């Protein structure tokens, strides 16, 4: 099966914006559609609480005919038009859909951050992990989130193998970002966040990219928009992941990034697995 995950940073902008960035985002979506994934996971959709509009569904239907769509948006008391996740999957499949509540701190359970699809032989779940925030103001809550999310994946894994993806908002090791020394106190590379990701892997999960590629350097999934040269200089971070239960790691065939051209921010990631 072929799975793709992407933090799209606003589905509405990707589908309807006429700006150069919006057109680049739409071009990436067209490329993903041409790859015909069994499942496409999107994070940071930023949709209203009511979800995709009629126009959004029409455009998605043209791009991804014969796919079903499930979505989850931020709702009160959380901020509106914030975070959010979506799955598109081939209509031949009939997975059970779960929009998990993990007893996360603050409003995190209301921010549309997790959707899980239960197939006969496995779970596929996506996450948009909360950022630790400016000046690390949200770091204590982020640590609690990481603990609850790890427990959630362990609960799934006790039932059947798990395939997990998304924007985890952490570069795990120094090799996972261009400038580790200047970012040790930056959100996404604190020792606290990195330790929590280690604890997640130690709970029985495999980082599929490293499993397939080893310690290959300078392979990233995100480049800051605020720096016009971040992608040109490949000054990036690897913060998007496909994880799998250790017991199915040997079934991985492909785990890699998908080229998104000149578009900065996140790039899609692909997993092909014999399951």
CA–CA distance, 232 with 241 (Å, rounded to integer): 22
Q: Is residue 166 within 8 Å of 128, Cβ to Cβ?
A: yes
**Alpha helix (H) residue ranges in the chain:** 11-16, 20-34, 54-63, 139-157, 191-202, 208-213
CA–CA distance, 266 with 103 (Å, rounded to integer): 28
Q: In sequence order, what E strands does 74-174 have? A: 85-90, 96-98, 114-118, 123-128, 162-167
CA–CA distance, 121 with 22 (Å, rounded to integer): 37
Strands 162-167 and 240-245: antiparallel
Query: Which residue in 9, 146, 167, 176 is the catalytic one?
Result: 167
CA–CA distance, 42 with 85 (Å, rounded to integer): 6
Query: Is residue 123 annotated as part of the catalytic site, yes or no?
Result: no
Identify the DSSP state of 240.
E
Query: Which residue in 67, 89, 128, 149 is the catalytic one?
Result: 128
Q: Please, which residues bridge with residue 162 across strands?
A: 123
Residues in the chain, how many?
275
User: With 0-12 CB in 10 A as exposed, 13-18 as middle and 19+ as buried, what is 118?
Assistant: middle
Query: Is residue 89 annotated as part of the catalytic site, yes or no?
Result: no
Q: Rounded to a whole number, what is the distance in angstroms from the first to the last CA of the chain? A: 7
Positions marked catalytic: 128, 167
């Amino acid at each position: 099966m072929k799975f793709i995950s992407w933090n799209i940073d606003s589905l509405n902008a990707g589908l309807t914006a006429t700006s150069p960035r919006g057109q680049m985002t739409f071009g990436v979506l067209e490329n993903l559609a041409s790859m015909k994934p069994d499942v496409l996971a999107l994070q940071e959709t930023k949709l209203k609480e009511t979800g995709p509009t009629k126009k959004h569904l029409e455009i998605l239907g043209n791009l991804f005919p014969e796919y079903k769509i499930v979505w989850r948006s931020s709702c009160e008391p959380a901020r509106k038009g914030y975070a959010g996740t979506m799955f598109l999957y081939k209509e031949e499949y009939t997975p059970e859909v779960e929009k998990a509540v993990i007893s996360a701190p603050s409003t995190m359970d209301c921010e549309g951050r997790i959707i899980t699809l239960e197939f006969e032989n496995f779970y596929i779940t996506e996450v948009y992990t909360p950022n630790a925030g400016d000046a690390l103001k949200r770091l204590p809550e982020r640590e609690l989130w990481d603990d609850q999310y790890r427990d959630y994946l362990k609960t799934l894994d006790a039932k059947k193998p798990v395939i997990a993806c998304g924007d985890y908002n952490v570069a795990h090791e120094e090799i996972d970002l261009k400038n580790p020394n200047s970012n040790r106190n930056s959100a996404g590379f604190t020792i606290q966040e990195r330790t929590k990701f280690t604890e997640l892997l130690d709970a029985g999960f495999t980082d599929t990219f490293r499993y397939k590629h080893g310690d290959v350097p300078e392979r990233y999934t995100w480049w800051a928009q605020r720096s016009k040269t971040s992608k040109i200089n490949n000054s990036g971070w690897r913060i998007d992941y496909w994880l799998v239960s250790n017991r199915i790691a040997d079934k991985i065939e492909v785990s890699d990034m998908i080229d998104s051209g000149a578009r900065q921010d996140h790039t899609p990631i692909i997993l092909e697995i014999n399951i």
